Amino acid sequence: MNTELIPLEYANHLIYELEKAFWDERGKGAKFRLTKVGKEFFDTNCLPKIKSNEINDIIQTIEQVLVEKKIIGKINFSNEDRLFRLTIEGCIHESVEKQLAAKAVEPLACFPANLIILAIEKKLDRPVELAEIKINNGACQLLLVLFEKRPSVG
């Protein structure tokens, strides 16, 4: 088995091609199919480190993991009630978003945001939607919408 790492540029180009093909097939609906990408990474690298049920602590834990793994530089966030605004700087996948924008395709996925969404859904049993992804000055500007806790049955 070859244990050599593949170049980041190659991996990001493949991600771009997959997202673009999905966009061509599903349009904006493709965005809602990509929200669980990263689940295995989350289960292995993030979930064991999340010790708090506070959203701010959850986001900070995900940030810590992503910074340690050299996937992002940092996350800034603020919230207004159920709206969370995040800025993710220094993401290794930024070139994917740029390639999509060059083809007039809206950004479809943010894998660091997916990890935050997975964490909130897992730890707090609250649905989360990634409502908006924008690229501004080399950073992803994200809007997450948190919904009420799922009702329990029985």
pLDDT value for 1: 58
Smallest Cα–Cα separation from 75: which of 144, 145, 142? 142
Instruction: Work out the angle at residue 93's Cα, subtended by the Cα atoms of residues 110 and 54, and round it to the nearest 5 degrees.
Output: 40
What pLDDT score does 136 carry?
87
Assess if residue 1 is contained within a domain. Answer: no
The helix-helix angle for 8-26 and 94-102 (nearest 10°) equals: 40
Contact, 35 vs 117, CB < 8 A? yes
How many distinct structural domains can be found in the chain?
1
What is the domain range of residue 40?
Answer: 8-146
The answer to whether residue 2 is domain-embedded is no
- Residue at 151 is within a domain: no
Q: 34: helix, coil or strand?
A: coil
Residue 3 lies in a domain: no
* CATH (domain of 94): 3.30.1380.20
**Is residue 17 a part of any domain in this protein?**
yes
**Is 82 domain-assigned?**
yes
Record the pTM: 0.89
Asked if 95 and 12 count as a contact pair (C-beta separation under 8 A), the reply is yes
pLDDT by residue, tens only, the chain of 154 residues: 567 788 999 999 999 999 999 889 988 888 888 888 999 999 999 999 999 999 999 999 999 999 999 999 999 999 998 999 999 999 999 999 889 888 888 888 899 999 999 999 999 999 999 999 998 888 999 999 999 887 777 6
